[in-house]
Amino acid sequence: MSEPRQRHVFVRIPFHPAEFPGLLLDWRQRENVWEALVTYWHEDNARAITGWYPQTQIRPAGREAAPPAREGERGQVRQE
């Protein structure tokens, strides 16, 4: 059985003191920077937000969420 492609993560939003739990949906590479497509619930605004965030703003929840090893591949989870 293959592993699910979605991963639970925490998103750090600039100028906000808290991290938000989210669901990582996909990866893309733009200008040599990996970005994650993440949906999260913003409690202050009471709404779900989906957007592309740089890898530096994403923290795994549990196992490590990693961008693809090569361009064009889907993100994989590294097991430690």
Query: Which of residues 26 and 76 earns the better pLDDT score?
Result: 26
In a domain, 24, yes or no: yes
Domain region containing 13: 7-64
Q: How crowded is residue 53: how many other Cβ atoms within 10 Å of its Cβ?
A: 18
**What CATH number does residue 42 fall under?**
2.30.30.140
Q: Residue 69: what pLDDT?
A: 62
Q: How crowded is residue 66: how many other Cβ atoms within 10 Å of its Cβ?
A: 15
Q: What is the pTM of this model?
A: 0.69
Taking residues 62-80, report their average pLDDT: 53
In a domain, 27, yes or no: yes
Q: Which two tokens stand for residue 27?
A: 């990866």
- In our burial notation (b when 16+ CB lie closer than 10 A, e otherwise), range 12-39 reads eeeeeeebbebbbeebeeeeeebbbbbe
In a domain, 31, yes or no: yes
Query: 12-16, 22-26, 27-31, 64-68 — which is least confidently predicted?
Result: 64-68
**Domains identified in the chain, total number:** 1
In a domain, 74, yes or no: no
Cβ atoms of 7 and 78 within 8 Å: the answer is no
In a domain, 79, yes or no: no
At 3-24, the pLDDT tens digits run 556 689 999 988 888 889 999 9
